[in-house]
Amino acid sequence: MTHPLTIRKAELRDADAIAGFNSAMALETEGKTLLPERVNPGVLRLLNDPSLGFYVVAERAGSVVGSLMITNEWSDWRNGLFWWIQSVYIVPAARRQGVYRALYDYVRDMARANPGICGFRLYVEKDNTTAQRTYSSLGMEPTDYLVYEELRVGVPYFGEPAGKA
């Protein structure tokens, strides 16, 4: 029998699990090994500074089995905040069991209860069709926007590609 799932906002006690999930996700999806000295303090910083966002975790039988991060984007067009869903990770043994749906429903309920939230968004790897199908099944739709970025030079966040020495 499967133990019930509990969804809650993350606490400091969840930092190691979340940092581990972030590292596992980067390796699994992009073949990148995150630097612990960068990701661990990054998780702690968000947990200690609610202005940056928050994490939501899924817990089963006392173990965290999934998480996601919410960050804020101000929309002057809508006079409200978009919540960005980021850093989604579900442990492999808990996948295809409704864990992400439960996390998503929790975030959606929080957003609907807060009149200052005008919507939520996420980005997904363009080739990750499995995740895209999941997001579509929950009612999300692709936007007309592409994401561009410029990273600060000289600030490493990952080591050598997986399998390289």
Q: Where are the domains of the chain?
A: 5-137
Helix pair angle (15-30, 36-48), 10° resolution: 130
For residues 61 and 101, what is the distance between their CA atoms, to the nearest angstrom? Answer: 18
Q: Give the count of beta carbons closer than 10 Å to the beta carbon of residue 33.
A: 16
Confidence (pLDDT) at 147: 82
Cβ atoms 57, 46 nearer than 8 A: no
For residues 164 and 7, what is the distance between their CA atoms, to the nearest angstrom? Answer: 37
Query: Can you give the pTM of this predicted structure?
Result: 0.87
Confidence (pLDDT) at 151: 76
For residues 111 and 120, what is the distance between their CA atoms, to the nearest angstrom? Answer: 8
Helices (H), the chain: 15-30, 36-48, 99-113, 129-137
Reported CATH class of domain 5-137:
alpha beta
Per residue of the chain (165 residues), give pLDDT as tens. 578 999 999 999 999 999 999 999 999 988 899 999 999 999 999 999 999 999 999 999 999 999 999 999 999 999 999 999 999 999 999 999 999 999 999 999 999 999 999 998 998 888 888 889 989 998 899 888 888 877 777 766 667 544 544
